[in-house]
Structure formats: C-alpha cells, structure tokens
Amino acid sequence: MRKCEFIRTNNEVGSIFVPSPTSFFGGWARHQWLKSYFKKECSIASDALWQILIERHGPPKILIEEDGVFREENQ
C-alpha cells in the first residue's frame, strides 16, 4: 500500500500540492507515482506553505493505492 497527503487548490489551473519529501529519492519516486495518478505535475510545498494551504483549503486529502486501485480519502 502506498499513500500520500495532498491538497488540491480551487484555482483556475487546479494545482496539486504535496508536503516536502523526507529524502531525494523517496521524493522522486513519490513524484512519479503522483504524476501517474493525477496526469499532471504536482508542486512540493515547504512546511510554511503547507500550513498556509491547510488554512486556505482545509485539511489535506490522502491518496491511497492498494493492489493497483487508487482512492482519495478525507482525513
């Protein structure tokens, strides 16, 4: 099972933000995984920006993949 928090903004381009990764290679693998699901690039938010996004857009959702099946859940 893989999972990752994300915030989808409601602006005209519908940007997807994820928190900063804990490692370069882990972040790169996560980025490729997210890109395959969302079919677009995701932006990495610094800790400060992540908190601002939560304040403006509510709590992050969680993308979960189990056995090749994706689902989005609320926290």
Q: Return the pLDDT at 11.
A: 63
Query: Do 5 and 19 contact (CB within 8 A), yes or no?
Result: yes
Q: Return the pLDDT at 60.
A: 96
Q: Which residues are registered as beta bridge partners of 70?
A: 65
Rounded percentage of the chain residues whose pLDDT exceeds 90 = 85
pTM of the shown model: 0.88
**Residue 12: pLDDT band with limits 50, 70, 90:** low
State mean pLDDT over 39-45.
92
Query: Do 20 and 6 contact (CB within 8 A), yes or no?
Result: no
Q: Return the pLDDT at 50.
A: 96
Q: Return the pLDDT at 13.
A: 56
How far from chain centre, in Å, is Cα 34? Answer: 7
